[in-house]
Amino acid sequence: MSKYKILIIEDDDDIRTSIKMLLQSENFEIIEASNGNIGIEKFNDSINLIILDIMMPGISGLEVCEIIRRESIVPILFLTAKASESDKLLGLMSGGDDYLTKPFSYAELFARVNSLIRRHYYYDQKYKTNHSGANEVGEPKQEYICLSSLKINKYDNEVYIRNKAVDLTYLEYQILLLLAYNPKKIFSIQNIYESIWNEPYFTSSSNTVMVHIRNIRLLPLCGERDIKLGKNMLIRSPKNGKNKKKFKPLKKQLTTTLVLGILISSFIATILFYSYEYIDDNYLLSNKISSNYSKHLFNKLEEFIKKNDISTNDYERLQNWNMGSKNTISLLYIFKKDKMCYNSHYALSSYEKYDKKAIENLTDTSLDLVRKYNIKKETMRFSDGYADVYIEADISDYLKAIILLFIFIIWLSIILLIFTNRLKREINYINELSNQVDNMKSTDLDEEFTVIGNNEISNLAKTLNLMKNNIIEKEKTEIELRQAQEKLVTGMAHDIRTPMTSILNYAEILRKTNNDTKLSPFIEKIIEKVNDLHTLSDQMFEYFFISGKNIPRNFEISLIEHSLGDYLSELYALLEYENFIVNADNLIFIDKKIKISSDFLARINNNIFSNIIKYADKSEPVYIYSKYEDMEYKVFISNTISNNVFKIKGSKIGVNNIKFMMQHMDGYCTDEQNLRNNKYTIMLAFKIQK
């Protein structure tokens, strides 16, 4: 069998050379490229695998992958210094098959290279074998898997959705093929990984599977046949064709609702308008309303004539009354002996008073109007005699204006009612999702987000369900890792302490039985270092203990003196017992309450005491004092560093543990080393509780 060819595209010479030497020792043929452009030039169909760095000068690895994917399905293994999920997601979405985070072990590199090549070789051979045969008419073999709009040609390794070809990576194709072969079967992430990768499943492998699943979800297929991630399951759920819901953008739905509202409201407004027209023609003009109003106007006019001594020739005053009054008069005519004296539509000017022909013509026209319309007549007494007064009191125009305004308001109200009702549904749905998100903080994550409809909001609910399930999976993974870490640390603490105890015992025997003064310093150094290791192991164990999420904390709110008094007094006594000079003159307790944990305070006290014993100069006093400022009670413990210790060395695990515990008590901790005066100060700040 010929060697497999691997193209390494990496800008770092050392990494590229070391990978080359390692893979060559495993009988791989290596082709090198120092940047993306050279890698593209050197790529050809004989390449079996590409190892591709993402961060390179010029063209990035993501761009190189996209270019190669346009013409080849060759497996691509990304090398990345970025370990975040988003960075890995970008790499896999650009067409990569797997990723390896720097720094990496050569064993893991071998495993991933062999896995990718093995799968690709099997896939390639199967492809060639399938294409070597022909049917009876000389055409290539074809076998399709059809599920709704999805069609897979398993011999040509082609995927079609609604008869349109879809580009997939090799792994995406294999996952889709697995699900298509088993449309009603439930697959866990572990099932998928072990079926496709042909490797044992590890917890970290779930991210790799989920990235490829997300890419499959982006296919238009998802609108018809949902792929849902359940609590630990990837569920393929076929739907009945009768229940298929086509995706409708929310904007389009709201626009449709608005148009429907306009049509409905316009129909109702049209019915109301013609109903009014009928009532206006058959009721308003002929009923008592108009008659009563005409009588009212006659009374008003008669009152005006008597009060102002109006004659039939007072054209201006009659016109002013008619135009300036609040009366609704359509027509007002005054006739004296069959001669028109006044017409509300055309007031006689001064020169027309002497033009009898014009008066007669106007009179004839007006008389025709009088006969044509339903005009009321009364004889009134003017200052120059009696005259016939004709009034048409038509209030229908005003009523019509009011009715039309009313109809418009109804028309607009129906539109707003229909549209706002639909909008209210969507807002209520959003509020429901918001409440469900809030409930995630306090309730079980097993509750699913409600999915209603098939628009952007329902897609958001589906995404929230996916995110929720990913969170569940992530929390499960974290718990497993935590348990593994605790088991490891506990085992390490036991395994380390056992030999350390033996070493310490042997050293003590040597110290007691040794008579050689030259060996004494070395024996003391052994004992000192063993004690350092013992302290370090205790601190490591303590760190994992206090950071455990499942360990209950007994916090209480109490007075400062009651909370801290005993512990600081104990520290004072222990230091004096070790022959330290302790100054606590400025330690003052105030009448305030703080949040504390007795367990945490005991551990903090022990850590501080241990550090002072280890690093402090006994000839200088240890100061313990307090301050109250900014609603914080601060305790300071300051000592002088021993002359043979220029800088506090060590892992800082003890101080970090103190800081961690203070955070859980709503406080914080700072430590400071002043090299000028050789002082070391640790400060414990407690937040005052109400």
CA distances from 373 to 269, 363, 377 (A): 30, 16, 12
Report how far residue 557's alpha carbon sits from residue 595's, in angstroms, rounded to the nearest whole number: 5
Counting Cβ atoms within 10 Å, is residue 468 exposed (0-12), middle (13-18) or buried (19+)? Answer: buried
Q: Determine contact, residues 21/8, Cβ cutoff 8 Å.
A: no
pLDDT of residue 356: 45
Give, as one character, the DSSP assignment of residue 544: H
Q: Determine contact, residues 396/284, Cβ cutoff 8 Å.
A: yes
- Helix, strand or coil for residue 147? strand
Give kind and range of the element (H or E) at residue 606. Answer: helix 598-615
Strand partners, 29: 5
pLDDT of residue 444: 59
Q: Determine contact, residues 257/418, Cβ cutoff 8 Å.
A: yes
Dihedral sign of CA atoms 532, 535, 539, 545 in order = positive
Q: Count of alpha carbons within 13 Å of 504, Cβ hemisphere only? A: 13
Give kind and range of the element (H or E) at residue 9. Answer: strand 5-9
Paired tokens of 71: 């013409």
Paired tokens of 385: 């005699």
Report how far residue 687's alpha carbon sits from residue 668's, in angstroms, rounded to the nearest whole number: 9
pLDDT of residue 312: 85
pLDDT of residue 284: 53
Q: How far apart are the first and last CA of the chain?
A: 78
Report how far residue 378's alpha carbon sits from residue 394's, in angstroms, rounded to the nearest whole number: 17
Nearest of 553, 555, 535 to residue 607 by alpha carbon: 535
Q: Determine contact, residues 566/538, Cβ cutoff 8 Å.
A: no
* Helix segments in 233-314, DSSP class H: 250-279, 288-308
pLDDT averaged per 10 residues, the chain (length 690): 80 80 85 91 90 84 87 85 59 78 69 81 54 43 66 71 75 79 71 69 60 69 39 36 58 84 87 76 58 80 89 83 66 78 63 45 51 71 88 67 84 87 84 77 67 79 79 76 68 61 65 75 79 70 60 75 86 88 92 87 85 87 92 93 61 78 89 84 91
pLDDT of residue 43: 92
Q: Determine contact, residues 378/298, Cβ cutoff 8 Å.
A: yes
Report how far residue 216's alpha carbon sits from residue 468's, in angstroms, rounded to the nearest whole number: 19
Give kind and range of the element (H or E) at residue 100. Answer: strand 98-101
